[in-house]
Amino acid sequence: MQTDERSASDEVEGPVNPSPRQGRGWWAVTVVAALGGLAAAPVPGRAQAAARRFTVDTASSSVRFDGHATMGAFSATTRTLSGWAELGDLAHLTSGRGLVEVRAATFQTGIGLRDRHLRGELDTDRYPTITLNVARVLPASTAAASGDPVVLEGSFTVKGTAHAVRWPAMAALLRGDTLVVTGSTPMRFTELGMKPPTRMLVTHVQDEFVLVYDIHFAPARP
């Protein structure tokens, strides 16, 4: 996996430099999800509909990562998310933008000591949030039985460093008022500036893991 890295405090103009992370889609994380542009161009003489605003529904959303270790598989999950999304055209899910953040210290694996080791590796006191920021939502070439297959293109920020990503995902607008974005992508701890958390009560943790996200957005209140 190739990523572009930069300090989260740097000023950035335009999209993240292309060195996209390729992934496969079913979901894992996180995180800050932002749905990016591609809205249809305005038609002269025709009034444009107001953009529809959504906020993360924390009761229905989750982010997790699935890993493997000497003693077997493990998962770390959080439901402590925040953020928003905006669709310029409800008929086109590629017309949006938004932001989703995950509180890094809230991942839970089911074992307290392992959770503390993970927080230490993520350096959560110094870097309290993990963010997925999607600058663009592109239509995917594959078909699906339900929802729209899309590609989330943007940046994934861990421990203060932004990495360019390009993740397959599924997006759907349910009942016209709930926006759902789900997906998963394989990653490596070392590509995110981390060591595999080998102290997590196991002999060895594999570098590879899968990040999974299931984000629900509800209509924002006026």
Q: Is the pLDDT of residue 145 over 70?
A: no
Mean pLDDT of the chain: 77
pLDDT band (50, 70, 90) for residue 142: low
The count of other CB atoms within 10 Å of the CB of residue 157 is 23
159 falls in which pLDDT band (50, 70, 90)? very high
The burial of 213, by beta-carbon neighbours within 10 Å (0-12 exposed, 13-18 middle, 19 or more buried), is given as: buried
Question: What is the pLDDT averaged over residues 122-139?
Answer: 92
Q: Per DSSP, which regions of the chain are E strands?
A: 5-7, 52-56, 62-69, 72-78, 81-87, 96-103, 129-139, 148-158, 161-174, 178-188, 205-219
Q: What pLDDT digit, counting tens, does each position of 60-114 carry?
A: 999 999 998 887 898 999 999 999 998 888 888 888 788 899 999 999 988 888 8
pTM, full prediction: 0.72
Query: Domain 18-38+53-219, CATH 2.40.128.110 — does that match?
Result: yes
Domain edges within the chain? 18-38+53-219
